[in-house]
Chain A
């Protein structure tokens, strides 16, 4: 259990670092969504299914959609 949780935390860290260094903003948003998704799995494993559901629905679906809509209106690549 502790190994699975640690593995998921490492995955989240990788996703978060990737989200901050990607120059392509769409890729960065997808990486952030990945962090949310792994966080949802982690919440579920730590017996917080209520939070997991909210995290999966809001973090991994709605936020990503809002970010992508915003990127479409502005620029895709960071300078």
Chain B
């Protein structure tokens, strides 16, 4: 009986969603703001990657909130999982030779790739979040392959805090020089060159460090407990 009612409700919801989706024409832009970003984005922000100009410039405040959510999640996980004081007593199983050699070989390359992704966020696809996630996956490889190695907690916390601080300070400087929070007060330069888009690359580098160290810290906390 319950199952029949469930299926019936599901069908009603599906029909409702389907009927409302049919009304929206697929593939046409209905909002003016999207068209504005595509046509004027490069001129207004100087960033060749339109996604980046939306994420960091037009919707920069939302991104600050997003970074804060990630920060709070990492802090909460750390608070729940971190053991108070005790030294690691369990014997660490060493990884196989293939994994050990592979991780030592790949780790610097992954780090360089992640850094490239977030430094060139305003020119090529990618940015702080993607680059940070790639760097964290490099650290994951280190934790799997070279199990006796640990990243320094202080350095990780420092990178995390500095990233957040740089973001907020740049926003406040924008308030000071440009009139509103996170306004782009630096010269925009010519689009498609490395030194362009004003504060966008600086903010993305800060986000890259912050996200990378946060995700690596989450993995660090979890692996220590396992």
Q: Which residues of A contact B (CB under 8 A)?
A: 49-50, 52-54, 57-58, 61-62, 65-66, 69-70, 72-73
Kindly state the interface size class of chain B when it binds its partner: 20 to 34
Q: Which 7 A-B pairs have the closest CB atoms?
A: A49-B125, A57-B133, A53-B130, A61-B137, A50-B51, A69-B226, A69-B222
Asked whether, in the complex, the Cβ of B218 is within 8 Å of the Cβ of A66, the reply is yes
A58 touches B218 (CB 8 A): no
Alpha-carbon gap, A18 to B187, bound state (A): 52
Give the dominant DSSP class at A's interface.
helix
Q: B215's contact among A52, A53, A62, A73, by CB below 8 Å, is which?
A: A62
B50 and chain A: residue at smallest CB distance:
A50
Interface residues in chain B, defined as those with a beta carbon under 8 Å from any beta carbon in chain A = 49, 51-52, 117, 125-127, 129-130, 133-134, 136-137, 140, 215, 218-219, 222-223, 225-226
Q: B140 touching A62 by the CB < 8 A rule? A: yes
Do A57 and B134 have beta carbons less than 8 Å apart? yes
| A53 to B, closest residue via Cβ | B130
Are B137 and A66 neighbours in the complex by a CB distance under 8 Å? no
